[in-house]
Amino acid sequence: MELGNLILGNSRGDYEVDRDLQDQFVGWMERLGFDCYGSRQEPDSEWVFENDVFRMQPYYWGDCDCGYDEKEWQWCDEHKHADACYQIEYRKIRDTTEFFSKEAQALIEELCGRYGLSYPSSCAVHCTCDYEKEWAAWSAENKHAETCALVQPNFSFKPTGFKLDWYKYALRNSYSSAPLTNEMIDEMFTECERSMREG
């Protein structure tokens, strides 16, 4: 996964898409009046295109629009690592000593020893309290709404439920809900083209 997508992106899925399919996929997009980003090339067109057969949405650079982010921030404000957690003790050393000094490194090495962590390879980020378990449980029960722009796929084909996400433009660091093939692209876009002619 590209670093930018890992940090900022939303392109996730079950199957990594072969970038060699990009020319074919983008060729079909252009044939239907979209640019390689998924935007309509007509003036004053809507940001998202949707009909009964497919939905196309350019890569989304905005914020959560379903309220999940606010709930997440609230949870984080209300839940903290325990004072005796390795993470807190490590931060105290980091914030109260010259970090690269022999004194700081000796304190961190001693701290790693107390928690059974190898020094220096495992000295940076560890939670030894219940914070991460509580976070994982909360996170499993709380997700973005399916309609949130952050989690909407860039392309979805309604007859089969196929979904495709990309980073910035079509098929860059892309992931899909099923393996994407040349034949599949032609079949889906033939139906998309028909739906646009009839609509």
Q: Per-residue pLDDT tens for 151-190?
A: 899 999 999 999 999 999 999 999 999 999 999 999 999 9
- DSSP class of residue 59 equals P
Q: Which residues are 156's β-sheet partners?
A: 55, 163
Contact (Cβ atoms closer than 8 angstroms) between residue 169 and residue 11: no
**Residue 32 structural domain:** 3-64+144-198
Q: Would you state the pLDDT for residue 121?
A: 66
Q: Per-residue pLDDT tens for 134-148?
A: 999 999 999 999 899
Mean pLDDT over all residues of the chain? 89
Residues 123 and 158 in one domain: no
CA 129 to chain centroid: 27
Of 124, 141, 158, which residue sits at a domain end? 141
Can you read off the two tokens belonging to residue 32? 């239907």
Q: Would you state the pLDDT for residue 45?
A: 78
Q: Would you state the pLDDT for residue 47?
A: 86
Can you read off the two tokens belonging to residue 15? 């199957």
Residues 57 and 148 in one domain: yes
Q: What angle do CA 73, 75, 76 make, to 5 degrees?
A: 65
CA 74 to chain centroid: 21
Q: Which residues are 157's β-sheet partners?
A: 54, 162
Residues 153 and 100 in one domain: no
User: Would you report the helix, strand and coil content of the chain in percent, each value rounded to 5?
Assistant: 40, 10, 50
Say whether the peptide bond before residue 179 is cis (omega within 30 degrees of 0). Answer: no
Contact (Cβ atoms closer than 8 angstroms) between residue 47 and residue 58: yes
Residues 80 and 36 in one domain: no
Residues 48 and 12 in one domain: yes
Of 101, 123, 141, which residue sits at a domain end? 141
- How many alpha carbons lie under 13 Å from residue 45 in its C-beta half-sphere? 16
* Residue with tokens 């060729």, as numbered in its chain: 27
Of 125, 141, 157, which residue sits at a domain end? 141
Residues 97 and 153 in one domain: no
* Residue with tokens 């378990």, as numbered in its chain: 133
Name the domain count of the chain. Answer: 2
Residues 22 and 79 in one domain: no
- Rounded CA separation 164/180 (Å): 9
Residues 136 and 153 in one domain: no
Q: Per-residue pLDDT tens for 6-49?
A: 555 565 678 999 999 999 999 999 999 999 999 998 777 788 99
Q: Residue 184 class from Cβ within 10 Å (0-12 exposed, 13-18 middle, 19+ buried)?
A: middle
Give 2's pLDDT tier (boundaries 50, 70, 90): low
Q: Would you state the pLDDT for residue 1?
A: 56
- Rounded CA separation 177/159 (Å): 14
Q: Would you state the pLDDT for residue 156?
A: 97
Q: Would you state the pLDDT for residue 150?
A: 86
Rg (CA), the chain: 23
pTM, full prediction: 0.71
